[in-house]
Structure 1
């Protein structure tokens, strides 16, 4: 078997055009930066390894997606002079150069060499992704760029501290969803009209105004050669067709499946795979689900009225939560909504950041802060800290079984249940409803009482002992406790209060 290193893949015409435009933009820089290095023929493997570490870390400090080393450009005046360096055939210690470098860099980093003809000069460009989760090390040492020097990161504690501060909030949203697009291509891919409508901004009367606003909200960013990038945030929120983007984005589309019975083995009656971005497609998805839900007869104070089986506000808030709190880095999985005869399940990929039983009272946390912030600004979900309140309160108002939140196989699943009488609820459901009722009262500045729990369950006053029995079970299971042990009538609070 041959050990020869395969030649690098040939760039597509678009990739080659972008690479040439990128070289032009890099040459136009007044001097080398902390994330750009020019060389002629120096191909020392150790030097390249240190540069990858230093430039990757420096690119993150400079808020750049990538750093670059370009061979064949003279350092002083940035003139193209060509290079004899051929990374595809270069070796170090009897190993292909790229393989040897990959073995000595931690964490693994997807650097790549690109050979190209630039106006008759042979150039080599090394593209280095910015550090994402921790500083990039070469031979167990992290480096940084300071002027033209490449010292150890640990020798510059102020830069080390700043780098860690930038790594911690680094988010999927800032990544590039599509690159090197013309203005027409951006507007063809993004529903910018929905953006202005949802954010309640007047539509600018010129293209520059449109692009300024999209850029200000980090939906797009400037690329090289006068072109644009669409960020992951822009794509996931406002894509006209998610399938036009990379699979890592396209597979984040919301899926909806309705079943004839109470389990997934029964016949599928409806299926819908979302095509639009979350923001521009949200109302259409919610309306689609609402239209499929059967109605439930509710007896109001004066007359009977038909209303949806599940409260619309609960459905919309749980869908929004699934979109906001999912782990975008889990590939091949997106939010899933499943409608069964007796329940509605909404699942999003990713471990919860707080325990599901503390969703109500814990301070809101999200992996996708920019996504969450913009969706709240567009009023597609409730303000921070009130969403789950609305879900539980609406379930209580309609006297539904208590919603359930579970961590299932590295995913979070929220379940709304169809109406059932108190007599038909399980003991587990009664205790969970009691805990949720006590928690909801507590965060509202009140306390749960036998009377308030009877109202939540629809229990008549002469059957008060039924509510008392649920309270005893919830206490026995450690879900609630007396607000004041010396005064039993003072009510009850959740165990964590």
Structure 2
């Protein structure tokens, strides 16, 4: 699966290749182009990522003298999520392989099989791979980051691009990661705002920092005088059970610090749970 020049020569592997489909609209009714690789992962992943990035819409920035085109999504995020789909797929499932779908305003990366870790814990839990030998070889070949750093890098890159938080979900027994194109705060719905706040709090926590109203405003690109909008998102995220106050005794809401639910301070003798359902 990693080094083969032609997977189609192996009956058991022919349907496990990575497929990339590009759609004209945000639905699946009209396919513009598609590609199904025949080579093993190592033989084609660099070319695959390059081809995917070439299909992704670009943002055009016109400066004082130069016209520059900027990729809509950070390449490191696309590369890491595609590599993760290859590593974490359930190869026991026959007749299907990883699927990358490119829409005008999102990318969906789907791999066969449900995750071994609850999706909301991808950031903080040590990764578990169904195919550890494959994962180890891909890391040694420089095709994937070391254990534990992949999702960190994805979320960091997404924050730098100020994109909505990616969605990690389980659908029909498959694991799906969705990257969204840029949307202003006003264009995001409540779920996207809450998910962005949760992932921001998690990323801050694992870097020994804390989410505040100010850091969340910066994450959303909100000016300082719109702190009430950030406060509303924090309140919604608390109501959803995905973040909690770092110091419950602090009543100064505007300067309060928050952490993801899995980093909550526990009373003596208490045991952490899996979080909200």
Q: State the TM-score, normalized to the length of structure 2.
A: 0.90
Cα distance between partner residues in 2 of 1:355 and 1:338? 23
What is the match of residue 267 of structure 2? none
What is the match of residue 246 of structure 2? 483
What is the match of residue 367 of structure 1? 130
Q: Deviations over 1:447-487 (max 9, x none)?
A: 00111101110001111111111001101111101100112
Match of 1:249 among 13, 17, 20: 13
Cα–Cα, structure 1 residues 306 and 273, in superposed 2: closer, same or farther, change >3 Å? same
What is the match of residue 90 of structure 1? none
Cα distance between partner residues in 1 of 2:189 and 2:142? 36
Structure 1, gaps ≥5 residues long: 1-235
Matched, 1:341 2:104: yes
Q: Deviations over 1:346-397 (max 9, x none)?
A: 0000111010111111111000000000111111111111111111111111
Q: CA deviation at 1:409?
A: 0.5
Q: CA deviation at 1:490?
A: 4.7
Q: Deviations over 1:39-89 (max 9, x none)?
A: xxxxxxxxxxxxxxxxxxxxxxxxxxxxxxxxxxxxxxxxxxxxxxxxxxx
The secondary structure found in structure 2 opposite 1:238 is coil
Cα distance between partner residues in 1 of 2:213 and 2:47? 42
Cα distance between partner residues in 1 of 2:204 and 2:122? 15
Q: CA deviation at 1:251?
A: 1.2
What is the match of residue 458 of structure 1? 221
Cα–Cα, structure 1 residues 299 and 457, in superposed 2: closer, same or farther, change >3 Å? farther
Q: Deviations over 1:138-170 (max 9, x none)?
A: xxxxxxxxxxxxxxxxxxxxxxxxxxxxxxxxx
What is the match of residue 52 of structure 2? 289
What is the match of residue 82 of structure 2? 319
Cα distance between partner residues in 1 of 2:67 and 2:190? 30
* Segments of 4+ moved more than 4 angstroms: none
Cα distance between partner residues in 1 of 2:89 and 2:69? 34
What is the match of residue 309 of structure 1? 72
The secondary structure found in structure 2 opposite 1:380 is coil
Matched, 1:407 2:170: yes
What is the match of residue 471 of structure 1? 234
Cα distance between partner residues in 2 of 1:260 and 1:321? 26
Q: CA deviation at 1:304?
A: 7.2
Q: State the TM-score, normalized to the length of structure 1.
A: 0.51
Cα distance between partner residues in 2 of 1:292 and 1:327? 27
Cα distance between partner residues in 2 of 1:324 and 1:299? 39
What is the match of residue 269 of structure 2? none
What is the match of residue 23 of structure 2? 259
What is the match of residue 493 of structure 1? 259
Cα distance between partner residues in 2 of 1:278 and 1:249? 12
Matched, 1:238 2:6: no
The secondary structure found in structure 2 opposite 1:412 is strand
Cα distance between partner residues in 2 of 1:298 and 1:419? 14
Cα–Cα, structure 1 residues 277 and 372, in superposed 2: closer, same or farther, change >3 Å? same
The root-mean-square deviation of aligned C-alpha atoms, in Å, is 1.6
Cα distance between partner residues in 1 of 2:54 and 2:116? 33
Cα distance between partner residues in 2 of 1:446 and 1:336? 36
